[in-house]
Structure 1
């Protein structure tokens, strides 16, 4: 099959940032890029002609940090998003309604409750007792929108053996009431058993065919936003299982790059690096070869790790690992030839991650390890320069600018940090290789919203967050396409519109480099192609 695109602006994101007007595709590969005449000459008279009518053609968006497997079950879960729900009472009512229609013993899984949107944000806003009343005959797990905490009822905790005598796991907290009983709020590693049990139950309850359909539906949702490649930032054994069964049924229309962790949500991956769980590429659509390590918690957890810059106060929070422990994890992965991505929110965690990568390259030197730090949220100027000198890829999530941009400024001020929130201008000027993703569902999945944030630096409350960190639309687009493809070792396949690459292409309603920055969030994805096949169109 042949395709011919003409009549618009083609943002190639090639090394010269060329703007073309024609693209030709044959059998899923790009065979010509240039003006309309050059493209037309590369295909036959029966080629399908796509008249762009002044619209823009860009490479398919690559999202290197996304929790795709977790959002797969949204259609079979209780919508607990706040907003649109006004608060905890409405969430409890929604759980009660779901439980009333569910068989006794079936798990009730709620998604999207955002504790950060309520004051005081660190309080325990969903209590075990309320969930018990809402679902007396069902185990309940309500995931916080951060995915670093969950809210469980008594039945759920009893199933996994959490009681008043259960100690806090390293890097986690089982919140207690005044009587010393678990109140249902499980932070970080403490949520592992409940999340694991609920996800396992969902797979077993719905069956493989339904699960494969849910994965396919989720892929189509991503395609509607122009996302053609996804890096799942936490693939546990259950996640790998649902991907394999979907791929085997031919229902995986996008490429999933699996970032493998341990057997639980925040579990150490040390047993996975050399085992069958840490397999390399399974198929053309299902990729592997990368280890995910969690270094520290997220806000509003009191354990988020930051160091005050003056050095006169104690560091805040404790990381999941000491330096020697994280060094061991990275060295183990490096010895197996694997890529490593470390989740680092606070600057203390960033420092440990950089130390581990530096040691790994010293002891097990590799030509192109592409070590990654995920988030890099409170990094200092010195750490930005160090990331550049070590060749570490920073994988950031620009939709947070819109979702919680005001929080970053507040938290940096409270902690007295010498940091800039989401410092894209500083990172790019320093020569840091930056890839952009979403962290969906923790932040919105739409790349266009991320582009808007990077260019306008506007938060949801209308304030500009570190306006001097704005970058150009073309720079922003590169971080979402070629740079993100490179972060997943796919730059030879996708990420730019060049001859020989896969025809993963997106038609946008407007050219983001020509419109007012405030309009970028109003733009629309109108068509998405994967390997030259039209998989989304409006």
Structure 2
């Protein structure tokens, strides 16, 4: 019997498959969006027919499409299309100038939203004088700007008024920073304190369904440009779920997407959340969109002292010398939620930026595993882990969802040092995690990171230095991993962590033909030049979805 010809054959000097049984190949064949043969050129050429397209790539390198286990693609697309985009390097004067210029083209009552402002700026902004300057720059229009962690906001007077925030009506959640001189809200709103402002914006109209769809499409398009063909969005609304499902039904979703349904919401202001959202998850399930996880915020972020640590923060006037931060749930509450979502067949991504919250997740995971519950569990961020907890991830089958993009250098690491002292120098124990047998999966946390470029994350994992060469120095170099390990973190490992290991993450027969073409074999050269490799094209299910200009 004559084999059915392939639709596409890819040939290159270097094809890294990420398949342990066959790590390298010279060619592979694609039919109906799936890989049907891979190996030597002669073997694959047997599937060549008169209409087969042959992609001869010569010295270029082919990797599996990159997989990002943690991003917020729709928020990134939204900022790119509809909001004021601010680099975190801006001073207060420069931020005000950008707001003023942006406001000139808007109606008098239009909202100005966007970001990100540096977390190191919050002290500068936390006073009435700065809020009044923002009022002037906006021409009285309501303003809501996100800080770089995307957990905190800066709002002006009009936005506070529309949100009902004032001296006698402070938000019940989070922290509202008051001016020490006059006692009024400064507009700096930490964690859940910013949700009323988000809700006020949404009441004004927010984005339309078409705009939500465009934002998701743009986020996927930007991810494709960096070679990403699968990702997990770490916190979605019904608007985002609807946009992803609609795109896939129309054949316009060019990536595998796993969505995380919010159990609680400390920052976004989405509605519904919790059980009402989880119950609707399958309504949005499509071929390439899988609402298979929930997201639990178990703490906040260290710069705002809302992360939970085993040892206290550096003392300050507001918190004293014995403040550890708090978790949003008790052991019993977390166990209850994780048991309930496991019964629905869902995994759990748990936001933990302190070692105290990570300890709580592991304690709950230990009880769940003893009860026979095998649901996937990810510790999201997990940059701080107690030494004795590192082996427990492998023992309990808990994934380390790491974000090497935001560890060093920059405004967030600077703030970490201010609130944690020397502990900030012992972040992201990735070598120890891998040596202990843990599954380590790579995530960008984009747009908290300025880009989702996996090559940036891979280089940072290998060198423990700034891949963008902005600052000297290294962060805990003993925790460096090899380039081969780092590539696996951003391909096969992340796919397995998301429940997509049988679909993507490696180039194997039967899997989706998701791959990226680079101008060189990035991980074969100098470690400090990995980021210099250029994405030439990105392919999803055998279709070219990005071509370099």
Tell me the TM-score normalised to structure 2 length.
0.89
Any gaps of 5 or more consecutive residues in structure 2?
A: 1-5, 314-320
CA RMSD of superposed structures (Å)? 2.8
Superposition deviation, residue 193 in structure 1: 2.2
Matched, 1:447 2:454: yes
| Paired residues of 2:65 and 2:227 also in contact (CA < 8 A) | yes
Q: Distance between the aligned counterparts of 1:162 and 1:409, measured in 2?
A: 27
Correspondences of 1:357-506 after superposition (within 5 Å): 357-363=365-371, 365-366=372-373, 368-404=374-410, 407=413, 411=417, 414-415=420-421, 417=423, 420-443=426-449, 444-459=451-466, 460-506=470-516
| CA deviation string 1:427-457 (max 9, x = no partner) | 1000011100100011131000011101111
| Paired residues of 2:378 and 2:399 also in contact (CA < 8 A) | yes
Any gaps of 5 or more consecutive residues in structure 1?
A: none
| CA deviation string 1:485-504 (max 9, x = no partner) | 11111000000000000000
Superposition deviation, residue 336 in structure 1: 2.2
Q: Distance between the aligned counterparts of 1:36 and 1:333, measured in 2?
A: 47
Q: Distance between the aligned counterparts of 1:110 and 1:511, measured in 2?
A: 37
SS of 1:279's equivalent in the other structure is: helix
Count of residues in Structure 1 that have an aligned counterpart in Structure 2: 529
Q: Distance between the aligned counterparts of 2:50 and 2:279, measured in 1?
A: 49
CA distance 1:465–1:408, shift in 2 (3 Å): farther
Could you list the runs of 4 or more consecutive aligned residues of structure 1 that deviate by over 6 angstroms after TM superposition? Answer: 267-270
Residue 243 of structure 2 corresponds to: 242
Residue 517 of structure 1 corresponds to: 527
SS of 1:464's equivalent in the other structure is: coil
Superposition deviation, residue 90 in structure 1: 1.2
SS of 2:304's equivalent in the other structure is: coil
| Paired residues of 2:299 and 2:357 also in contact (CA < 8 A) | yes
SS of 2:281's equivalent in the other structure is: coil
Q: Distance between the aligned counterparts of 1:194 and 1:494, measured in 2?
A: 40
Q: Distance between the aligned counterparts of 2:51 and 2:479, measured in 1?
A: 48
SS of 2:441's equivalent in the other structure is: strand
CA distance 1:122–1:352, shift in 2 (3 Å): farther
| CA deviation string 1:454-492 (max 9, x = no partner) | 111112412111112111111111111111011111000
| Paired residues of 1:138 and 1:155 also in contact (CA < 8 A) | yes
| Paired residues of 1:231 and 1:488 also in contact (CA < 8 A) | yes
Matched, 1:24 2:18: no
Residue 334 of structure 2 corresponds to: 326
CA distance 1:372–1:419, shift in 2 (3 Å): farther
Residue 138 of structure 1 corresponds to: 141
Candidates 301, 317, 328, aligned match of 2:325: 317
Matched, 1:353 2:355: no
SS of 1:150's equivalent in the other structure is: strand
Candidates 98, 104, 129, aligned match of 1:94: 98
SS of 2:282's equivalent in the other structure is: coil
Residue 157 of structure 1 corresponds to: 160
Correspondences of 1:117-266 after superposition (within 5 Å): 118=121, 127-170=130-173, 172-177=174-179, 178-198=181-201, 201=204, 203-204=206-207, 207-262=208-263, 264-266=265-267
Q: Distance between the aligned counterparts of 2:545 and 2:258, measured in 1?
A: 19
Q: Distance between the aligned counterparts of 1:43 and 1:408, measured in 2?
A: 56
Tell me the TM-score normalised to structure 1 length.
0.91
Q: Distance between the aligned counterparts of 1:63 and 1:271, measured in 2?
A: 24
CA distance 1:125–1:225, shift in 2 (3 Å): farther
SS of 1:73's equivalent in the other structure is: helix
Candidates 80, 90, 100, aligned match of 2:86: 80
